[in-house]
């Protein structure tokens, strides 16, 4: 058994509570914490912005990627697209599916989480048929066979829980129906569309295991189930069904927006919500250290109020080891309380283990992002 060293103390000028009513001589609060936002933490009050660096040298740095510029995403098979960010427990890739898959794919390495950035289409899998539209998450359990028939070209964010499984977060005091009611989770159906694709035609299944692909050929379509029962199945969740936790007096940490939990990483969803209205409450994300987690944000749509020059389809990557937070313009707007409501949808990936960026990702990096916190 072990426990954190804990001895809450106060020193100098400080606020009584985190993220509210800062001392007059210090505009800037910085949180240094462990275990993401779940461990012990200290809040510093600074005279200068913790992101006010004037130069930066070396491989550790905040990065921004314009994945809209990536090539070779229109692969016939999702296993042919490169991982953009990865570690031993997680793979992050983008895939553009533009035409009907006349074959099946199966991931024997872990669960897949699909997020529909653009387009719509029909998924056929071992469990039946389901339609996906823009803004849908779709969790595919490990070793499920599936294929897609797009209604319109689809851009899919894919996050693999390598060697692991996706689960729902523990919701604690707010209860099981908070954030989203499990009743909104939809599963595939053995419906007429599914029955219509029964076939005695030869079908290939591309199976990924240990990042290598094998091909299994059947003299029939193996998606031939006539029914099933149990509590393991793919599930669909649209971000519009997420009802975020809010506090008008306290800026909640990103962990309050956790959507899915896997082994050694979490996926969070930021959706539109009211901005804190209490005069003393912080109204933008607080400056914080990445001490234990790498943070990745995929920007889906809207006005990304804490970031400058970030557009939909772009990704920011903040590896562990430095302080980050809102850009100067956003911080000033927060002080003036100009905005009353956020208008953004973003998918956040927080990983306990360091992520490596691929050559493909680095080819579309904005090298000047590290200096985007400079005062204009």
Binding residues for homogentisate: 324
In three-state secondary structure terms, 370 is helix
User: Is residue 251 among the annotated active site residues?
Assistant: yes
The CB density around residue 153, as the number of other CB atoms within 10 Å, is 14
Contacts of 37 (CB under 8 A, 6+ apart): 253, 254, 255
Q: How far apart are CA 4 and CA 162, in angstroms?
A: 29
Binding residues: 288, 294, 324
Binding residues for Fe cation: 288, 294, 324
Alpha helices in the chain (DSSP H): 192-196, 328-336, 359-362
Q: How many helices (H) and strands (E) does the chain have?
A: 3, 21
Q: How far apart are CA 318 and CA 350, in angstroms?
A: 10
Catalytic residue among 19, 43, 89, 251: 251
Tell me which long-range contacts 39-42 makes (C-beta under 8 A, separation of at least 24).
Answer: 39/4, 39/292, 40/4, 40/5, 40/6
Catalytic residues: 251
């Amino acid at each position: 058994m072990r426990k954190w060293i804990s001895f809450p103390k106060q020193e100098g000028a400080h606020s009584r509570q985190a993220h509210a009513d800062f001392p007059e001589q210090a505009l800037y609060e910085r949180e240094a914490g462990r275990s993401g936002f779940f461990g012990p933490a200290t809040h510093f009050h600074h005279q200068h912005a913790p992101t006010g660096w004037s130069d930066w040298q070396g491989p550790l740095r905040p990065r921004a990627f314009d994945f809209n510029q990536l090539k070779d995403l229109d692969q016939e098979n999702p296993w042919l697209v490169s991982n953009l960010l990865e570690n031993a427990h997680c793979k992050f890739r983008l895939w553009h599916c533009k035409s009907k898959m006349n074959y099946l794919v199966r991931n024997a390495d872990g669960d897949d989480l699909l997020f529909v950035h653009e387009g719509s289409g029909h998924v056929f899998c071992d469990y039946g048929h389901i339609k996906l539209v823009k803004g849908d998450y779709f969790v595919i359990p490990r070793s499920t066979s599936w294929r897609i028939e797009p209604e319109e070209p689809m851009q899919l964010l894919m996050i693999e829980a390598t060697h692991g499984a996706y689960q729902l977060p523990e919701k604690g005091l707010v209860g099981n129906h908070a954030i989203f009611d499990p009743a909104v989770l939809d599963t595939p159906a053995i419906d007429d569309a599914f029955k219509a694709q029964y076939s005695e035609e030869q079908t290939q299944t591309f199976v990924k295991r240990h990042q290598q692909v094998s091909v299994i050929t059947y003299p029939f379509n193996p998606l031939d189930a006539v029914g099933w029962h149990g509590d393991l199945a793919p599930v669909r969740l649209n971000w519009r069904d997420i009802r975020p936790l809010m506090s008008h007096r306290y800026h909640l940490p990103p962990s309050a927006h956790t959507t899915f939990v896997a082994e050694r990483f979490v996926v969070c969803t930021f959706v539109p919500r009211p901005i804190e209205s209490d005069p003393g409450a912080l109204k933008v994300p607080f400056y914080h250290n990445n001490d234990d987690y790498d943070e990745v944000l995929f920007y889906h749509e809207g006005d990304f109020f804490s970031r400058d020059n970030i557009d939909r389809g772009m990704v920011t990557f903040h590896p562990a080891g430095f302080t980050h937070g809102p850009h100067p313009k956003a911080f000033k707007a927060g002080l003036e309380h100009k905005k009353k409501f956020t208008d953004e949808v973003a998918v956040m990936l927080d990983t306990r283990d360091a992520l490596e960026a691929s050559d493909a990702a680095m080819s579309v990096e904005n090298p000047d992002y590290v200096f985007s916190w400079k005062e204009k």
